[in-house]
Amino acid sequence: MAADSPSASHAIVIRGVSKSFGAVTALEGIDLSIRKGEFFSLLGPSGSGKTTLMRIIAGFEQPDKGSLMIDGEEMAGVPPHLRPVNMMFQSYALFPHLTVAGNIAFGLRQQRLGRPAIEARTAEMLKLVQLEALAGRKPHQLSGGQRQRVALARALARGPKVLLLDEPLGALDKRLRQETQAELKRIQLSTGTTFVVVTHDQEEAMALSDRMAIMMDGKIIQVDAPGTVYDRPANRQVAAFVGDLNQFPARVEAGPDGVLLASAKGIPGKIAIAGSAVPQTEECWLVLRPEHMRLAALADGSADHWMACRVEDRAHLGAQVAYRLCLPDGRIVLAQAPAQAPEASQMAGAAILVGFRAADARVLR
């Protein structure tokens, strides 16, 4: 992306932003560029600083250090009401004394547009979120999902350069969540707005985002597409945060022909690791995703390394069966197998082999 000049192709450019609240460091040396039209997620556990970063972009907090540019303009000293961003609040923050249409028109009225222009834009927004029939209702007369759509329409009405969404699906039940994910994606594509979502829900972030930033303890650990974060996590914490993980303490040494060999506790033999940046001397971990584990009665060619184990527990998830397996040393290994596969019929207590391919194993710090 050498052609990217920050002002031309980026909606948000953050350089060296730090923020403390008293003795607590909320953000430390944040560098982040978000491209125009991108669906971007800030993903992290609570307390990771993602909400503070969003509030700095919206202008509700001032960074102690560093700079923030939105659409090529420096934002230092620009108050929230003059920034070309709008925010969808986690609580939705709908104005209880205004109707649905009044809420959506609120931001337009601040721009002192003429009445016809306001009404036209409000109608357009109502149509976008399919709430035309409820324009006259007050927020307390709406369901949770309807409120969420009003909040979205209100935040989009002014045509912001960037839309900030704070845990947009957090207050919805599971079924509504999936519908709304698709809806958000549709609206983001049709308006071409840059969406920045703050969430602690990795499934939500993976499903929605073009790219995501993983935040932990006030720092950005990794910025990548969801698939890359999942397959090539920057460290063990990121790997564990974006999905289930089997972890084995390991050591790495140089083998013949420049191949790296890992020896992991509880795994027989040495595992040949595809190019890894982990220094050989350092304490590290061999990690494996449950879906990369193979189950078999006899060792065969489907895996490079096999371990004896006992089925502790199994859960039928529909298309997949999830296993909890117990190794002889007491370590628990998670595995998944397609429900139709013959090895998926193992019952609790059964003795079986669990294996993996060396190519699926990662060595992380």
| Binding region for another protein (CB under 8 A) | 58, 60, 79-81, 85-87, 89, 91, 93-97, 106-107, 110-111, 136-137, 141, 154-155, 158
> What is the C-alpha separation between 106 and 154, in angstroms, rounded?
8
Q: Which residues of 308-321 are buried (b: 16+ CB within 10 A; e: fewer)?
A: ebebeebeeeeebb
For 220, counting Cβ atoms within 10 Å of its Cβ (0-12 exposed, 13-18 middle, 19+ buried), the class is: buried
Q: Which residue, 156 or 307, has its beta carbon nearer to another protein?
A: 156
Quick one: 154 or 289, whose CB is closer to another protein? 154
Q: In whole angstroms, what is the distance from residue 325 CA to residue 310 CA?
A: 6
Q: What is the number of other CB atoms lying within 10 angstroms of the CB of residue 2? A: 4
What radius of gyration, in Å, describes the C-alpha atoms of the chain?
25
Q: Are 100 and 134 in contact (CB under 8 A)?
A: yes
User: Of 8, 12, 44, 39, whose CA–CA distance to 27 is shortest?
Assistant: 44
Closest CB to another protein among residues 111, 130:
111
Minimum gap (Å) between residue 162 Cβ and another protein: 12
Instruction: Work out how close the CB of 118 gets to another protein at its nearest, in angstroms, rounded to a whole number.
Output: 13
Q: Cβ 83 to another protein, closest distance in Å? A: 8
Which H/E stretch holds residue 14?
Answer: strand 10-21
Q: In the complex, what is the shortest distance from the CB of residue 177 to another protein, in angstroms, rounded to a whole number?
A: 22
Least gap, CB of 69 to another protein (angstroms): 19
Complex with another protein: residue 62 or 141, whichever CB lies closer? 141
- The nearer residue to another protein, 33 or 86, going by C-beta atoms, is 86
The SS3 assignment for 315 reads: strand
Residue 226 backbone phi and psi in degrees, to 5: -55, -45
Query: Given the complex with another protein, which of 90 and 263 has the nearer CB atom?
Result: 90
Write down the least CB distance from residue 232 to another protein, Å: 36
